Amino acid sequence: MKQNQLELEKEKYIHSNYHETLIFERYVCQKKLMTALELGDAKQAYDILQTLWADIRTVNALYSPERENFRVLHNQLVSMNTFCLLCAIKSAPNPLYLHAISRHYDTMIEKATSKEDADILLKNMLEDYCSFSNYTEHGKYSDVVQKAIWHVTANPESKLNLENLAHVLGISPAGLSRKFHAETGQTLSQYHIAFRIRMARRYLQEGEYSITQVAHLTGFTDASYFSKVFAKHMGESPSAYLQKEQ
């Protein structure tokens, strides 16, 4: 942006109602974003966030030299991680799992080095935090299903035992299976495997563990079986995914 145009934009921002209008629009977007996160609608959340961040980046360009823009963006990613975490808390998730997600994005934000990295991080962040939503198209999950999810996400390395879980929840195994599938559209086994693969993706993104270590951390004692299941869900092997992330 040329210097004279830059000064004109600054004047518009400071000495007109543009500043107040922008703050109000941000507030409205944040409210919509909070609702989308609570309902688990990652696509809508991302679309809303693009509108919100377009204005923020415009103002950043006015007041921050180009070399400082990414540092400002980095700080905003940290704020977004906190914002998403606070929205997710409303669904009363397993605190250990929520902490793991928050810590993961703390790590990934530090690793980001470009605006492209930041955009990918935002998409992943919204998808992950939307997974905490306890809403379906028919309303909220029942207490039994919420508690089942709470237990499943407590220890990703543990094997799923339907009988034990049903006993803890005070329901028959068959009753738990029917209820869980009716409300989530997935069997408990499908949900558990998808959850473990999601955790595996995060470990691979962080780049601190080998594929064998990631397999063990997510409850796969056999690395080759882990690779097979991962490829089925992701359309590529863990090694290909790891190489792409690096």
- For the chain, first and last CA: distance in Å? 33
Q: How many CB atoms lie within 10 A of CB 13?
A: 15
Q: Which two tokens stand for residue 27?
A: 């507030």
Domains along the chain with CATH numbers: 3-130 (no CATH), 137-245 (1.10.10.60)
Per-residue pLDDT of the chain (246 residues; tens, 9 = 90+): 455 655 565 555 555 565 677 677 778 888 999 999 988 999 999 998 888 777 666 665 655 555 556 777 888 899 999 999 999 998 888 898 999 999 999 999 998 888 888 888 989 999 999 988 888 777 789 999 999 999 988 877 888 999 999 999 999 999 999 999 999 999 999 999 999 999 999 999 998 899 999 999 999 988 999 999 999 999 999 999 988 876
- DSSP assignment string, 166-183: HHHHTS-HHHHHHHHHHH
Q: Using CA atoms, how far apart are residues 147 and 150, in angstroms rounded to an integer? A: 5
Q: Using CA atoms, how far apart are residues 35 and 120, in angstroms rounded to an integer? A: 22
Dihedral angle over CA of 112, 116, 119, 121, nearest 10: -30
